[in-house]
Amino acid sequence: MANIGGERVEIRSASKHYGSVRALDDVSLDIAPQEFVSLLGPSGSGKTTLLGILGGFIQPSGGSVHLGGRDVTYTPPHKRDIGIVFQNYALFPHMSVGENVAFPLRARRLPKSTYAEKVRGALAMVDLAGYEERGIGQLSGGQRQRVALARAMIFEPRLILMDEPLSALDKQLRENMQIELRQLHKRLGATIIYVTHDQREALTMSDRVAILKDGKLVQIDRPERLHDHPANAFVASFIGEATLLPVERVGSDSVSLAGTVLKSARPIAPNGELVLAIQTEKLLIEDGSGSPERNRLEARVTDVVFQGESLRVFLALDDGTPLSLRQPSHYEAARRIPPVGGRLALSLHPQDTIIVPKAGA
């Protein structure tokens, strides 16, 4: 299957109200052709609603949707040419794999002679060559997922929507599929909008990730930007493995954490309550080797948990404020952790000292 290119997607002030519930509240998004964008957010944040509005299953209460510059707000789903992979695949149980995959061709009344060839191509692409005659019931979860994918791609849509497509798979399969999906995306070049609960999945796969909360778009950014420049405490808490600690503003570039002054290399909001977001991997055990401008802290070890490739060390500041850090589980690193109850000197580089407004936590 050739690279068919992607569709530009513009969502302008889209809202959806169910009575007093605002499932989606004034969301605008611009998605470039060929982009892979994930929608990430807690349960009930409006991800499926947004996808439904894009797919045409849900009429927005306000706003508009444009595909490739075309206003499709009132176009019925079957005329939008969007490939959709549903959360539980939505394969047709009474049809064979081949019939499922050929459904879009048949619905479009394409010449029958082309079916077999196209179906073979689509199945080959998802590594299911020769599965045409199989029944849906005879497939494993991963295979079903791939059939759904082949079916959504066979008509070469320029936009593909996926609603938690991997959530039903076990970890191993899930990670394999993540890689396959990325490769497929590269090859096809279609725009993909991908709903997930799993921040790790979102970060590894996407060009950009949109964070939703209570129907509102909180932030949309590249994964590393989300990680390093969270727009607020909510994003910071949602991404990575952060500890959020309330801090006082001391100057334009410094805050006070329980009496200890910390410098930040990043701009600090001029007013409003602030929180410090410390990602576990960024808090280091002080060994005297860090850069001179580093912030320094002291804490007591409260627990050490072995987690395979790394150790998670739980700490408490003098006033009891909890913290944690991660150490690789190799001997040299583990050796530096004192036993539980022991004191530990810590360092945090100003570049890693992320201060965000508390609002939106």
Ligand X SMILES: Nc1ncnc2c1ncn2[C@@H]1O[C@H](COP(=O)(O)OP(=O)(O)OP(=O)(O)O)[C@@H](O)[C@H]1O
Do 204 and 20 meet the contact criterion of CB atoms below 8 Å apart?
no
Does 45 sit near ligand X (CB under 6 A)?
A: yes
Separation CA 297–CA 1 (nearest Å):
56
Q: Which of 6, 46, 98, 142 binds ligand X (CB under 6 A)?
A: 46
Which two tokens mark 195? 């709903």
The vertex-16 CA angle with 13 and 19, nearest 5°, equals: 140
Q: How many CA atoms lie within 13 A of 57 on its CB side?
A: 10
Judged by beta carbon distances under 5 to 8 A according to partner kind, the member of Mg ion, ligand X, other proteins, none in contact with residue 56 is other proteins
Interface of this chain with ligand X, residues 195 to 254, rule: CB under 6 A: 197
Judged by beta carbon distances under 5 to 8 A according to partner kind, the member of other proteins, ligand X, Mg ion, none in contact with residue 57 is other proteins
Looking at the Cβ atoms of 108 and 336, the one nearer to other proteins is 108
Separation CA 7–CA 36 (nearest Å):
11
Judged by beta carbon distances under 5 to 8 A according to partner kind, the member of ligand X, Mg ion, other proteins, none in contact with residue 165 is none
Judged by beta carbon distances under 5 to 8 A according to partner kind, the member of other proteins, ligand X, Mg ion, none in contact with residue 81 is other proteins
For 5-71, give the DSSP string.
----EEEEEEEEEETTEEEEEEEEEEE-TT-EEEEE-STTSSHHHHHHHHHTSS--SEEEEEETTEE
Q: Which of 15, 38, 48, 324 binds ligand X (CB under 6 A)?
A: 48
* Per-residue burial over 174-198, b = 16 or more CB atoms within 10 Å of its CB, e = otherwise: beebbebbeebbeebebbbbbbbeb
- 47 to 187, 193, 270, 306: CA distances (angstroms): 26, 10, 32, 35
Interface of this chain with ligand X, residues 144 to 203, rule: CB under 6 A: 197
Interface of this chain with ligand X, residues 11 to 30, rule: CB under 6 A: 18, 21, 23
**Residues contributing to the site for Mg ion (CB under 5 A):** 48
Q: Which residue in the shown chain puts its C-beta closest to Mg ion?
A: 48
Q: How far apart are CB 306 and Mg ion at their closest, in Å? A: 35
Separation CA 1–CA 187 (nearest Å):
8
Q: Which of 12, 26, 33, 44 binds ligand X (CB under 6 A)?
A: 44
Do 102 and 110 meet the contact criterion of CB atoms below 8 Å apart?
no
Looking at the Cβ atoms of 148 and 323, the one nearer to other proteins is 148
Q: How far apart are CB 201 and Mg ion at their closest, in Å? A: 15
Looking at the Cβ atoms of 136 and 160, the one nearer to ligand X is 160
Judged by beta carbon distances under 5 to 8 A according to partner kind, the member of ligand X, other proteins, Mg ion, none in contact with residue 18 is ligand X
Sequence-distant (≥ 6) Cβ neighbours of residue 318 within 8 angstroms: 258, 298, 299, 300
Looking at the Cβ atoms of 48 and 219, the one nearer to Mg ion is 48
- Interface contacts to ligand X, rule CB under 6 A: 18, 21, 23, 41, 43-49, 197
